Amino acid sequence: MKGIDAMSKYVRLLALVPVFLIALWIGNSFFKYFTHNSVPKVEIIGVRDGGVYKGIINCFVEGDSDYKVSCVSVFLDNDLIPIDGAQYVKSKKFNLPFKIDTSSLVEYEHTLKLEAVDSSYKVNKLSEIIKFYVDNVPLKSAFMHDGYKVEQGKTLHLKMQLNKQVDFAEANVFSQKYCFYPESENSTVYECFIPIDCEQHPDEYLIEAKVIDRVGNHSIANNTVKICEFNFPRQKGFTVSSTKLNNEKEISMDDRIKQDALGKWLNDSPRKKLWSGPFEVPTIVKRLSTPYGEIRVTPQRGRYYHKAVDIVNNPNSVIWASQNGKVIIKDRYLLSGNTVIIDHGLGVFTKYFHLNDFADIEVGDFIKKGEPVGKLGMTGYANGPHLHWELTINNVAVDPFEWTKKIF
């Protein structure tokens, strides 16, 4: 009998387990109902803040919340969008599809407002706003000039007229790619600066410009450029004493370090002009000892093109920045001596070599046109006091004097 009574008690206890679990679940549910204090985790999929769209946009209201969501509402420019099941969600996880037909919307900024309310006692509420843009306008692009002509060593300045601002515009010429940028903020005129190396073979070349707008429309425009031969002067007999070069090696860095740094700085160059108006010659020109592109033959370096200008002025004459920009290099190198390099944006750099000393400037400083960078000297690979002044685009040197005569 005792065994039967014990078994009966055990069975009754087992029968109470479900009741206990149900009571525990109900108690926990009531506790969460009264204490839950987090906004619903709900988002709109298919439209991102700041995005640009065309045609039909397929969207979803997606929930993955900690507590049941009672209802959700989506407003387009303050008008409620009808979404099946949105007013009676009653679930933690859900996915409610809806569409936006942009063909009925103006080409401008629009607003989506998402509201979601949970089923708790505190009625926690989510409210978020997404701003997006509509662009159903077909993309149009055209070169502003037909058939370009430019000499070796000069700058090819391309301009395109677009009917709207775009995400991407690129020119392909000489099997190289060059980016277009708006000529000013919010402009639909896009420009591109292409350096013509002094060793570029004279010929006529095809230019292909590819444009992609913010909604993925493509446009291609073609043009041509004729590279004209320029008769660069020749120089012989230029030498620098071995004693001077040996002394320079002891106090200067290898120029390859400078070149490696320039590659990094080119990637970081601002995607906008830092300059305004024409560039200035950075010192008084008493004499031009070496014009741009002169072909030199020297014992140390053999035959090469001097892709800069050498300006003679009084020793220790002030050298100033030829345009507004950011100082990216200030150091001493074997060939260029005391060196300052300024980034003017869009990959346009000016270089000042062989300085006797530096002005009170540091790497990272923004310097204005006409402010001093140092004094004229003959440090590095130089046999007399002068300024080596160089202008590069994407690390290809072009005639800097052209930039003082034109407004690019």
To the nearest whole percent, how much of the chain has pLDDT over 70? Answer: 92
d(CA 204, CA 123): 72
Render pLDDT for 278-302 as a digit per residue (tens, 0 to 9).
Answer: 999 999 999 999 999 999 887 777 8
In this prediction, residue 72 carries a pLDDT of: 97
Q: Averaged over 265-290, what is the pLDDT?
A: 96
Confidence of residue 15 (pLDDT cuts 50, 70, 90): low
Q: How many CB atoms lie within 10 A of CB 185?
A: 7
In this prediction, residue 9 carries a pLDDT of: 60
In this prediction, residue 8 carries a pLDDT of: 64
Q: By the 8 A CB rule, do 293 and 307 touch?
A: yes
User: 141-228 architecture in CATH?
Assistant: Sandwich (2.60)
Render pLDDT for 21-72 as a digit per residue (tens, 0 to 9).
Answer: 565 556 556 667 888 899 999 999 999 999 999 999 999 999 999 999 999 9
- How far apart are the two ends of the chain, measured CA to CA in Å? 109
d(CA 53, CA 105): 11
Q: Where are the alpha helices (DSSP H) in 163-214?
A: none
Confidence of residue 20 (pLDDT cuts 50, 70, 90): low
Confidence of residue 202 (pLDDT cuts 50, 70, 90): very high
Q: What is the CATH number of domain 234-405?
A: 2.70.70.10
Residue 273 has pLDDT above 60, yes or no: yes
Residue 17 has pLDDT above 90, yes or no: no
Per the prediction, the chain carries an average pLDDT of 92
* Domain boundaries for CATH 2.60.40.1220 within the chain: 141-228
Which residue pairs, CB below 8 angstroms and at least 24 apart, start in 93-98?
93/63, 93/64, 93/65, 94/61, 94/62, 94/63, 94/69, 95/60, 95/61, 95/62, 95/63, 96/60, 96/61, 96/62, 96/72, 97/58, 97/59, 97/60, 98/59, 98/60, 98/61, 98/74
Render pLDDT for 207-251 as a digit per residue (tens, 0 to 9).
Answer: 999 999 999 999 999 999 999 999 999 886 678 888 988 999 999
Residue 12 has pLDDT above 70, yes or no: no
Q: What is the CATH number of domain 42-134?
A: 2.60.40.10
* Domain boundaries for CATH 2.60.40.10 within the chain: 42-134
Render pLDDT for 92-140 as a digit per residue (tens, 0 to 9).
Answer: 999 999 999 999 999 989 999 999 999 999 999 999 999 999 999 999 9
* Domain boundaries for CATH 2.70.70.10 within the chain: 234-405
Q: Averaged over 376-396, what is the pLDDT?
A: 96
In this prediction, residue 296 carries a pLDDT of: 86
Q: How many CB atoms lie within 10 A of CB 17?
A: 9
Residue 14 has pLDDT above 90, yes or no: no
DSSP β-ladder status, 181-182 and 189-195: antiparallel
In this prediction, residue 297 carries a pLDDT of: 82
Confidence of residue 2 (pLDDT cuts 50, 70, 90): low
Residue with tokens 């020749």: 234
Residue with tokens 């640009």: 52
